Structure 1
Amino acid sequence: MSSSTTTPTPRMRRRTKIVLVVLAALAVAFTPLAVNGLFAGALSEADTNISSVPAAIVNNDKMTTTTNADGTTSTNFAGRGLVTELTGAGQTGFDWHATNSDDAKKGLENGTYYAVLTIPEDFSATLNSLGTADPKQGLIDITTDDSHGYLSGVLASTVASAVQAGFGQQVTAQVVNGIYTSFGTVGTSLSDAAGGATQLATGADGLATGATQLADGATQLTSGLTQYTDGVSQLSGGLDQASTGVRSYADGIYTASTNLDKLNAGIQQIPTVPEELKQGLAQLTAGLSSAAAGGGPLADGIADAASGADTLASNGPALVAGAEQLGAGATQLSTGATQLGDGARTLASGLQSGADQLSANTSSDTSSSADVVAQPVKVDVSTVNQVTNVGQIVSTILLPTALWIGALALFLWLRPFSRAVLASSATTARLTARTFARASGIAAAQVVLLVAFLHLALGVAWSSLPATLGFSLIVALAFTAFHQFLATAFGRVGAVISLVLLALQLAATGGLYPVEILSGPFQVINAISPLSYAVSGIQAIITGGDAGTVVTAALVMAGMLVLSILLAAFALARRRRPVEIGWLVPARRALPGKPKPRTAPRPGIA
C-alpha cells in the first residue's frame, strides 16, 4: 500500500465519534427551538398569503333592462360588478379566477380551487326588486371541499361575510329609506290629486245639470221658432194682399186726382161758382194729388216687407233645424258630463286608495324592507365531502405523523448492524431485504392498530376500510424503508435527522389549511415532502375526495419505498468495506507479534 494513503487510525475514529456525539447532543438540544422556528417561519406570511389561495368565480348572471319613470331605459349587470369587485386590485380573501361551471367543478374536485363562488342567473333581476315595495335578496353560493383543507371552509365563510359587506349594507339601507320616504311624498301627491279629481267630479255634475237645462231651453226655443215661422208665413201672405190693395187704391186715387184736376180747371173758369167752392175744390185736388203721389211708395214698402217676410219664412225651417241640433248637442253634453263625473269619482277613489296604500307601506313596511335591502346579497356556504368530526379532521395529519414516528421508534429499538453482520458472507441485498422484512412486520402491526382506532374511535366509515388499510400500509412501508436508510447510513444520528425532517415536513404540510398561505420556501418543501402526499391521500380517503389524489399519493409512497431500499442497500454496501469495518489495519501500522485483538460480534439488526 502506498505510503501516501491516509488510513483512519483508532484515535481519529475516537475523535470523529466524539464530534458526532457532540453534534448529536447539540441537535437534540436545539430540536424544540428548531421545531418552533420552523412552524413560525412557515406561517409568518399567512396573513398576506391568504389572498393567494386560488378560488373560482362563475358568473351565470343575465343582464336586465328596466324602464325608468321618464321613459328612458337602463341596464343592470350586477354579476359583472361583483366579479369586478372581487378580482379588483387590493382585494383580499381569495385569488379569484373567472371561469365556467364545468372547469370550476373539476378544479374543486382535484384541488386546483379551494372554493367556487357561483352567481345565479337571476342575480340582477333580484337586485332590481330593491326599488320596489317587496325587495328580495340576491343569493350567491360558495362551495368548498374538506378533502383539500378543512380551514378553507372557514376562510370561505369569512369571504362570504366580506362579500355581503362589500355591497355596502349601510349605503343600501339609506337608499331604501330614501325610496320609501319618496313613497310617502308620492302618497301625499296622490291624495292631492284625489282631491282635485273630486272637485272635477263636482264640476262635471254642475256641467251636466247646466247642459240638461240648456237642452230643455233648446227644446222650448225650437217650439217657439216653429210658431214664429208660422206667424211670419201668415204675415207674408197678408202683406202681399195689402200691397195689392194699396197699389189698387193708389191707382184709383191717381185716376180720381187726374179727373178732379180737369174738373177743377173747368170750375175755376166759371164765374158764377162761389169762391169758397173753388177754394175747397182746389184743396181737394191738391190732397188727392198728394195721396196719389204717396200711394206708390207705400205700395213699394209693403211689397218689400212682404218680400222680407217671405225670406224670413223660407229660412225659418233652417233656424228650427239648428235649434233642434242645439238641443241634441246639449243632451249629448249632459250625458258626457254625467259620465265625466262618474269617471272623476272613480279616479278620485283609486287615487285615494293608492295614497292610503303608500302611506300604510311607508308607516309599516319601511323598517323591515330597509333591513332586507341593507343586506342585498346573501351568501350560502356549502361544503363538499364535509367532515364534522374533529377527530377525523385531525387524524388526517396525525395518522401519517404517527406512522413516521412509529418507523423512527422501530429503528431506535432495533440496534444498528453489528460488525459481525457487516463482515459476514451474506450479500448486501440479502441483509437489506432481511432487515426490511423484519421491520415491515412490526410496521404492519402498527398500521392495523392505527386503522382500527381510526374506524372504531373516530367514526371513519367502514366502507373506506380497504382504502385506509391499504394506503396506510404503503405509507408505513415507505417510512420504514426510509428510516432503515437513515439508520444504516447515519446510525443513531439518523434519529435526529428524522426528527428534524418530521418537523420540517409538518411545518410545510397543509392538510388543515391551504398550502398557499405558507411562506414561499415551505411551499416548495410541500411539493416534495412525502408526509404531504401521505396527508393528502388519507385526507381524500376519509372525506371521500378525488380518487386521483389517492392514486398519486400512493405512487409517490411506492416510489419512496423503492428509492429508500436502494439507498439503504447502497449505504450498507459502503459500511461493509473492510476499512470501514475496521478489521483490516495497514501493514505499516501493525506491530510485529502483536495482532489487534478481536471482540466477539454482537447480535445486530440483521
Structure 2
Amino acid sequence: MSIPTPRNRGALVAALLLPALVGGVALTSVGDRVEGATDLPAAVVNLDSPVTTGKGEEKTTIAGGRLLAAGLTAPDEDADATMAWRLASAETAADGLADGTYHAVITIPEDFSATLAGMTRNEPEQAQITVSTDGADGTVVGAISRDVGEVAAARLGRQITTTYLAGLYGQTSELGGRLDEAADGADQLADGADQLANGTSALAGGAGELADGAGTLSGGARELSTGLGQLDRGASDLSQGTRSLASGAAQLDGGLAQLGGGADRVAQGNRDLADGASTLATGAGDLADGLSTLDDQTSGLPGQADQLAAGADQVATGVAGWAQVLRGWGTVCSTPAAASFTALCAGTEAALGADGANADALVDGSAQLRDGARTLAGTAPELTAGIGRLSAGATSLASGADELADGADQLAGGAASLSKGVGEARAGSRRLKSGSSELAGGAQKLTGATGKAAAGARELSDGSGRLAEGADELAGGTAQLDDGASRLRGGIGDLAKGLRDGAEAVPRSDAEKQQSDAEAIAQPVVAAVDDASPIEARDSVAPVVVALVLWLGAFTTYLAVPALSPTRLARAGRATRVMAAGLVAGLVVVAVQAALVLAGAAWLGSAPAHPWALALLVAPTVVVAFVALTQACVAAFGERTGWVVLVAVTALQVVASSGFLPIDAAPGVVRTLHAVLPVPLAGDLFDWALNGSGSAAGVAGLLTWAVFGVALSTVAASRARRTSVAAVRREVAAAA
C-alpha cells in the first residue's frame, strides 16, 4: 500500500467520516418527516349552514359541517389525529394552498347539512366534500390527504346512519305502542256499535213521536198564515224607508265629489314638496362636501397657529431686546464720548424716536402680535371642531332632506290612492242609490207575495199529514238499521283482535339496544389491526440508507485512494498484486465507514434483528462487493470516466431501490434491476439483518458482483502495467 501524502490524508479522513455524517442526517431527517406527518398543516373550510327539521318536540337541528370540522380539528383521541387541521375561510385556504401554508384543504359545501337532512324526509342523497391538494409535496401527502378526507366523511356518514337507524328503531317501538292504543280504540268503537243498536231501537219509538209532531206542525202552519199578514204591513214600511235611503245616497255622492277634488290638490302639493326636498338634499350634500373639504384643509390649523404663537413670542422677545440695545446706545450717544459715533448715534436716535417713542411702539406692536398669535392658537382647535360639527350637521341635513323627499313622495302616493278610493266610493254611493230604489220596488212586490205565502202555509199543513205517514215507514227502516249495527259490532271486534296481533308482531327494545343494533347495521364489519412486528419509520428506511451511503463511501474512497497504485504499476510484479494492493486499501477505509454508519444506525434506531449475521456476514459481504466494483470502474475506465460511470450507476440504483416506496409498484424493468444491482441487493440484506424482514439470499448476488469486480480490476491492472513498462522503455530510449 502506498503512503498517503498530507493532502491525501485530508481526503482520506473526509472519505471516512462523510458516509457516517450523510447516513446520520438522512436517517434523522427521514424518520422525523414520517413521524411528523401528523403535524402537516391542513385547512378545513366549512361553508355549511345548519338546517332544522321536524316540528314541535321533534324539532331537530342538523349541523353536519360543524360535526365534520370538529372531528378533524379537535379529534376525541390523539390516535385519531392525522394532520394538523385548522379552520379557515375559503379565501385564506386557497391562498394558503397556493403559497404552501397548507398541504391540503377540505371544503364542506353550503348544502352539506341540507343534503344529510334528506334522510329524515325519505329523500336520501349522498353529501359530498372536496379534498384539494397542491401536488407540490408529492403523491404521498396528496394520498394521505385524500384518504383522511374519505375516512372522515365515512365516519360522519356512519354516525349519521347510526342516528337515523336508532331513530327508526325508536319509531318502530313507538308504532307498536300506537297499535295497542288503536286496539283499545277498536274496543271502544265496538262499545259504540252497541250503543248504536240501542239508538236504532229508540229511533223506532221516535218515529211515532214524529207523527205527533207533524200534527203539531199543521197547527203551526195556520199561525204562520197570520204572521204573513203582519209581514205585509212591514213590507210597506220598508218601501218608505228605502226611498229615504236613496235620497241620502245622492247627498253622499255630492260630498264625495268635493273630497276627491281636495285629495287631488293634496297629492299635487306633496309632489311639489318632494321636488323641493330633493333640491334641498342636493344642496345640503354639496354643502357637506364643501365643509368636509374645508375640514380637511384646516386640520393642520391648530399646529400652524401654535407655531405662529411660538414665533410671535420669539419676535416679541427679540424686539424687546433690540429696544433695550437701542436705549443703551441712546444713553451712550448722550455722553461726550460718543462724538466719534456720529453716524451710529444719528441712526440710533432715528430708530428710538422722540423719547424712545418708536422703540416703545415697536415693542407694543410685537407684544400685540404675540397676544394675537396666542389667541389664534387657543381658538384654532375650536374653529376646526366647529367646522367638523358644521360638516356633520350638513350631512344630517342632507339625510333628513332625503327622508323628507321620500315621505312626501309616499304622502303624494297616499293622496292619489285616497282620490282613487273616493272615486270608488262615489261609484258605491251611486250603486247604493240604485239598490235602494230597487229595494223599494222589491218591498212593494213583497206586499203582494205575502198572499202567496199564506197559500203556501195551507199547503204546509197538508204536507205535515203526509209526514206522519213517512214517520211510520221510518220505524220499519230503523229495524233494519238495528240489524246492521249488530253486524258492525262483530266486524269491529275482529279489527281489535287484528290490531293487537300486529302490535305483538312489532319488535320493541330499549334505547341502548336500539343504539347497538343501529351501529351494527351502519358498520357491519369492523377491522381490528394487529401488527405483529411494528417497525418505526426510521427503521424502515435505514436499510436502503445504509446501503446507499456505503456505496457512496466506496465511491469517495477511490477519490482519495488510487484504484491501482502507480508505484506498484512501475515495479515488476504480478497484476494481481497491484489489484490486491488497491483493493485492500479500499477495504480498510470502507470497513471503517461501515462500522461508523452501522453504529450510528443502531444508535438512532432499534437493535438489529440478527446482530451476528450483520457483523460477520452481511456487512463484510457488502463492503467487499462495493469496494471491488468501485475499484473495477475506476481501474477499467480511468479516474474521470470511471467516476462518471459510477455516478450514472448510482442514480440507476437509487431508482431501483426500495424503502421509500414499495418496489412492487414499480415498472417491470425497475423490478428486474432491483433484483440484480448491488445497492438494492445490499438494501434487502440490511433489511433482513436489521429488521428481520426477507432473507439473506442477496449474499450470493453480492459475492458474484465482488468476483466480477476483482476479475475486471485484475485485467485493468495487467493492461495498465504493460502500458507503464512500455512508457518507461520509451523514456529510457529517449534519454539515451
Same fold (TM over 0.5): no
Q: Please report the TM-score for the alignment, with normalisation by the length of structure 2.
A: 0.34
Give the greater-gyration-radius structure (CA). 1
Q: Please report the TM-score for the alignment, with normalisation by the length of structure 1.
A: 0.41
**The structure with more helix, counted as a fraction of residues:** 2
